[in-house]
Structure 1
Amino acid sequence: MTIPTDTSHSTRDLTVQRVRHPLKMRMLQVVRTRHVSPQLLRVTLQGPDLADFISASFDDHVKVFFPQAGADKPVMPEVGPNGVVFAEDQPRPPARDYTPRHYDAAAQELDIEFVLHGDGPASTWAAQAQPGQYLGVGGPRGSFVVPTAFDWHLLVGDETALPAIGRRLEELGPDTRALVVIEVPEADAEIPLPSQANVQVHWLHRGDAPEGSLLEPALRGIALPRGEGYVWAAGESAAMKSVRQYLVTERGIDKKRIRASSYWKRGAAAVHETLDD
């Protein structure tokens, strides 16, 4: 008698891939806005420039260009043989990195979610966003593609990571587990996180505590599942360094199985970087 052998785990591909995309600048218009929470605003952009838009990973980011005060449209850079070139006779437009939350190719609509924290060009613009207004979008330049086939996924971040975490959970199938640790200002910042996966969400309300300070202590009380897993974390720079160091040095996470990013840095502007050794 032949005994069937389950080869699904031995044959699955868990290789993380880096994919490059042609860099393109796009001028888009707002078609609608919606509050996902009191602190999180979804802005839907549309335009023919989105016809060849590609976003292959929840970890992607695009550069969003905002109009100067009093201007209708941002002054966009051009992509030349030597890279991105800005006009020398005009000020550079304010720009920040954001996650492509959802792209509808048929409707040529791109959703981007903005945290309304009350300062900075992005939050200020988003607070007054109306249909018909223009934004520039560049990229994504490339994608860091983490397979969904891992047995479990640990997703960690503050409210700036919610768009990426929400997108990732929507991508996961019913045959995997997801542990999610999210720090937000207060309870009304919590949002629905639909997924087919077996998801366990830990919401942390920081109140007056420093941003990101609750994440690493919370991880100390969480048991990781058996099997092959992958960790993704994003948020304030110092907090993400602490999270990564703890998971690698004390929990034994292989450095190849963790992706930690600084989405912002306390006291600095326009910071977006991957953290590694």
Structure 2
Amino acid sequence: MTAVPVAFIQVTDVARITPHMVRISFAGEGLDAFPTWPDQQLKLLFPRPGQSAPRLPEASAGGDAMRWYQAYLALPEDERPWMRSYTVRSYDPQRHWLTVDFVLHGAAGPDGPAGAPESGPATRWAAAAAVGDTLARYGPSADYARPLPTASADWLLLAGDETALPAIGSLVESLPPGIRALACIEVDGAADEQTFTTRADLTVHWVHRDGAPPGGGEALPAAVRALSFPAGAPFVWLAGEAGTVRTLRRHLVAQRGLDKRQIDFTGYWRRRLSQDDAPTEEDLAEARERVEAARTGRG
């Protein structure tokens, strides 16, 4: 694998685009020649309380990703920045800005005061972000770019909750003309819906929780089960809360008869657990399946 770039980035713009999502743009070192692709993942590092910028390991790792990560883990826990995975929503090649959409869940959203305990460190940071604030990025790496197989599928299904919205937006906006796509997206309510500009034949089904907590509910699985699928072989992209993703995948394989190789799936988050918590047995099984799928190809 190639070395994963690590660099500081500074906030250049902040915009609340829906009640539960804020769009933040960044500039920084290395963004003048930034590789781009849809559903582009990277990790952001957030400062600990009292820090104006996240503390990073010394540059002695020599650009090697594994050595850098080991040096990161060796930092004192109370100084080690929180690391969270995000999707690049867009990249501006003229201004050399990358843009990331942050979901404001928990009490940092519009339903509670910012900074309440149930809001995680990334959510608290995003809710209070201002121009000039500093984060760090780890990645992205082109080793993980996996384009949708639009040439081999008759149509596409994309399903997820609001954490999947940035990836779904980047995917549908990259689709060529003539591709039929269905998107089934769970959000809190109508005010959290977004619009996409795409050349594809796209139909979006919005699923509203109407105040119910995100993750683990039946709203999104019920909506997917109720869909009338077009004729032909689909390719399916799933992301969001891990348990919901597993439920959707089981339905598509067992009830809809899809081959597992027709489904790309990622659990972005887990109810009552953060990325700092140890993986569950289901998480490990999912990771093994994803590694095997990457090794053998999507089919």
Q: Could you say whether these structures have the same fold, taking a TM-score greater than 0.5 normalized by the shorter chain as the test?
A: yes
Query: Which residue of 233, 237, 241 corresponds with 2:246?
Result: 241
Is 2:236 the counterpart of 1:255?
Answer: no
Q: Do 2:38 and 2:167's aligned partners in 1 also have CA atoms closer than 8 Å?
A: no
Could you list the per-position Cα deviations for residues 190-244 of structure 1 after superposition, in whole angstroms to 9, with x for gaps in the alignment?
1112211111111111124452421111111112222332100111111110000
* Post-superposition offset of 1:50: 1.6
More helix per residue: 2
Query: Which residue of 26, 34, 45 corresponds with 1:45?
Result: 26
Q: Do 1:55 and 1:143's aligned partners in 2 also have CA atoms closer than 8 Å?
A: no
Q: Is the alpha carbon distance of 1:210 and 1:250 closer, same or farther for their aligned partners in structure 2, counting shifts above 3 Å?
A: farther
Is 2:131 the counterpart of 1:131?
Answer: yes
Q: Is the alpha carbon distance of 1:265 and 1:151 closer, same or farther for their aligned partners in structure 2, counting shifts above 3 Å?
A: same
The residue type paired with residue 139 of structure 1 is: G
The residue type paired with residue 43 of structure 1 is: I
Q: Could you tell me which residue of structure 2 aligns to residue 144 of structure 1?
A: 146
The residue type paired with residue 44 of structure 2 is: V
Distance 1:51 1:256 in 2: 36
Shifted more, 138-147 versus 106-115: the winner is 138-147
Structure 1: state its 5+ residue gaps. 1-19
Distance 1:198 1:123 in 2: 34
Query: Which residue of 65, 85, 89 corresponds with 1:97?
Result: 85
Distance 1:260 1:179 in 2: 16
* Post-superposition offset of 1:104: 2.0
Shifted more, 74-83 versus 253-262: the winner is 74-83
Q: Do 1:262 and 1:275's aligned partners in 2 also have CA atoms closer than 8 Å?
A: no
Count, aligned residues: 257
* Post-superposition offset of 1:132: 0.8
* Post-superposition offset of 1:152: 1.2
Q: Could you tell me which residue of structure 2 aligns to residue 198 of structure 1?
A: 201
Query: Which residue of 37, 55, 58 corresponds with 1:75?
Result: 55
Q: What TM-score results when the alignment is normalised by the length of structure 2? A: 0.80
Distance 2:193 2:75 in 1: 44
Identity, % of aligned positions: 37
Q: Is the alpha carbon distance of 1:165 and 1:87 closer, same or farther for their aligned partners in structure 2, counting shifts above 3 Å?
A: closer
Q: Is the alpha carbon distance of 1:276 and 1:210 closer, same or farther for their aligned partners in structure 2, counting shifts above 3 Å?
A: farther
Distance 1:76 1:270 in 2: 19
Q: Do 1:21 and 1:140's aligned partners in 2 also have CA atoms closer than 8 Å?
A: no
SS in 1 for 2:24: strand
Is 2:246 the counterpart of 1:265?
Answer: no
The residue type paired with residue 125 of structure 2 is: W
* Post-superposition offset of 1:21: 4.8
Q: Could you tell me which residue of structure 1 aligns to residue 186 of structure 2?
A: 183
Structure 2: state its 5+ residue gaps. 109-118, 290-299
Q: Is the alpha carbon distance of 1:89 and 1:225 closer, same or farther for their aligned partners in structure 2, counting shifts above 3 Å?
A: closer
Distance 1:256 1:67 in 2: 39
Shifted more, 76-85 versus 114-123: the winner is 76-85
Task: Let me know the Cα RMSD of the aligned residues.
Answer: 2.1
Q: Do 2:38 and 2:174's aligned partners in 1 also have CA atoms closer than 8 Å?
A: no
Q: Could you tell me which residue of structure 2 aligns to residue 160 of structure 1?
A: 163
Q: Could you tell me which residue of structure 2 aligns to residue 86 of structure 1?
A: 72
* Post-superposition offset of 1:51: 2.9
Could you list the per-position Cα deviations for residues 138-160 of structure 1 after superposition, in whole angstroms to 9, with x for gaps in the alignment?
11232222233333110100010
* Post-superposition offset of 1:275: 5.8
Q: Could you tell me which residue of structure 1 aligns to residue 120 of structure 2?
A: 120
SS in 2 for 1:244: helix
SS in 2 for 1:171: coil
Q: What TM-score results when the alignment is normalised by the length of structure 1? A: 0.86
Q: Is the alpha carbon distance of 1:124 and 1:176 closer, same or farther for their aligned partners in structure 2, counting shifts above 3 Å?
A: same
Q: Could you tell me which residue of structure 2 aligns to residue 106 of structure 1?
A: 94
The residue type paired with residue 170 of structure 1 is: E
Shifted more, 100-109 versus 243-252: the winner is 100-109
